[in-house]
Chain A
Amino acid sequence: MTALRQWLQDPSPASRRQARLGQMWLAWLRIRRNRLAMAGLVIVGTLLVVAALAPWIAPHDPLAQDLTRRLLPPLTPGNLLGTDDFGRDILSRIIYGARITLYIIGLVAVTAPVLGLLIGTVAGYFGGWVDATLMRLTDIFLAFPRLILALALVAVLGPGIGNAILAIALTAWPPYARVARAETLTVRNSDYIAAIRLQGASPARIIAGHVVPMCLPSVIIRVTLDMAGVILIAAGLGFLGLGVQPPLPEWGLMISSGRKYLFEQWWVATMPGLAIFVVSLGFNLLGDGLRDVLDPRSAAR
């Protein structure tokens, strides 16, 4: 173990692989020193574990209805967080809902920022009519209210969780494109880009290898800040009958179905709301820490 640590911390690594692993080790040390980032990592890690082990840790079937036990308050024996209007256990539904939430977040976080980065960096790097065309396209997407545009897309594609994710991703990319373009403009005329261009690099290599790493930190921050919004838009689509379909235990859907009882049976909407809150907070904290880790200049020596 100590030999491994020494190998990782070697100030003059012998090979590229050792250098890369050493960098990752340093990044891990940096994120571990950051308490808030660790808190975020613990929350996101818990979400992953809960989603993976849902069938084993959930006390009830999330779909099993029991109308004799409907709208029970929290801390009722057998139903820790109470039951909803069909007598389904809210805790079990939240645990199973973690899977759906993770699925939506994961797919949106992979597709929208990648699309935004691509469009933003290409527009910023080439400038001229490429920039004008891509940015006007971005403006058109930005001009629509997000939920309405997602609604229109789902209406065309047909309801369902897959199409909902696609619609969210297609409406979420414009801010990333904006951020990436702004960063690209500050980087584009720097000497190190001129130097690599002079080495004969193709635009694709320059954008992917030299421009994107400079845009990543700000995009990652935006992604983590947007995660709460993504969950809520998915919920909104579900509420309108165009996203996740009942009786699937999606957190946003649970909130909208608890809306009717908000004043008398507050827990029906509050518990999944708390779950969204905690997960969003976790992503935000983690994103903040990741930004520090991604910047090697912030390494304390």
Chain B
Amino acid sequence: MSLIEVENLSVTFRAKGREVRAVEGVSLTVAARESYGLVGESGSGKSTILRAICGMAPVTGGRIRIGGQVLPTPRGRAFSAQVQMVFQDPYASLHPRHTIDRTLSEPLAIHGVAGSDARVVQALTDVGLPPSFRFRYPHQLSGGQRQRVAIARALMLQPAILLLDEPTSALDASVQAEVLNLLDGLRRDRGLTFLMVSHDLAVIDHMCDRLLVMQHGRAVEELARDDLAAARMATPYARSLFAASADRMLEPAGGATE
């Protein structure tokens, strides 16, 4: 059975009499422990799907089910323990006035989990940060280190599903590879399910088992990783997207970002 089921989802933003249909009739399913990618240019509605799952976008049609259950609105605490998100910009996703310790221990405090001292240190170690970073502020960390903290925060409640909203696009190339490898390792160790958004096919190719190409809020084509590697696309749009990033993708089988 699929862990995430999105069925015919539509999201429409309304502001001052204008309507923007960000997502129109998109369906996708993600199996447990699978890594699923959403690809498209900016404005194609891929991040909006993640936000809709989290209840942060106005859903106007369709259904979202996690583990067979229709999600309640507002999402509630059970959802928090099941689904977490890593945001695109690590400079904006950490509270500038809170230490790393506070950022990481707050989810535990909200859910009444005991033993936060040890868990915070463990979480830092798990994402490859020294425990001495614990009482620093975000401005004392580099972009890659901040994104590691954001990943650690998302994993504090031990969710089964991680939504990744372009987790590396704000980082430079070498750091990007480190963070992607970290995510890959965490997924393997913990059996996580990823739903990942990116505009970069090379990143998706490296990370995902299956992917959905999106354009103007609509699904264009769904591809498995093998189809991508063999360049078996049915639609011209997916082909052009592939051509744009093919040179970084095809060299060694398995991805060039390593």
Contacts and interface: CB of A to CB of B under 8 A. Distances in A.
Interface string A85-128: 00000000000000000000000000000000000000000000
A41 to B, nearest CB: 23
B142 interface: no
B139 A297 contact: yes
B80 A200 contact: yes
When A and B form their complex, which 5 residue pairs have the shortest distance between CB atoms, in order from nearest?
A12-B132, A200-B80, A19-B135, A191-B93, A200-B77
B99 interface: yes
A195 B87 contact: yes
Contacts of B110: 199-202, 205
Interface in A156-201: 190-192, 194-201
Contacts of B84: 198-199
Contacts of B135: 12-13, 16, 19, 22
B153 interface: yes
A213 B97 contact: yes
Contact of B106 (A16, A201, A295): A201
B107 A199 contact: yes
A198 B76 CA distance: 9
A195 B56 CA distance: 11
B71 interface: no
Contacts of A296: 96-97, 137, 139
Contacts of A22: 135
Nearest to A18: B135
27 contacts: A12-B134, A16-B117, A16-B135, A191-B87, A191-B88, A191-B93, A192-B94, A192-B96, A194-B93, A195-B87, A198-B84, A198-B85, A199-B80, A199-B153, A199-B156, A199-B157, A200-B80, A200-B81, A201-B106, A202-B110, A205-B110, A213-B97, A213-B98, A296-B139, A297-B137, A297-B139, A301-B140
Interface of A: 11-13, 16, 19, 22, 190-192, 194-202, 205, 209-210, 213-214, 295-297, 301
Interface in B134-151: 134-135, 137, 139-140, 150
B92 A191 contact: yes
A196 B89 CA distance: 15
Interface of B: 54, 56, 76-77, 79-81, 84-85, 87-89, 92-99, 101, 106-107, 110-111, 117, 131-132, 134-135, 137, 139-140, 150, 153, 156-157
Nearest to A297: B139
B249 to A, nearest CB: 29
B16 to A, nearest CB: 15
B54 A191 contact: no
Nearest to B56: A194
A195 B89 contact: no
Nearest to B83: A198
Contact of A196 (B79, B81, B96, B106): B106
A2 to B, nearest CB: 22
A194 B106 contact: no
Nearest to B84: A198
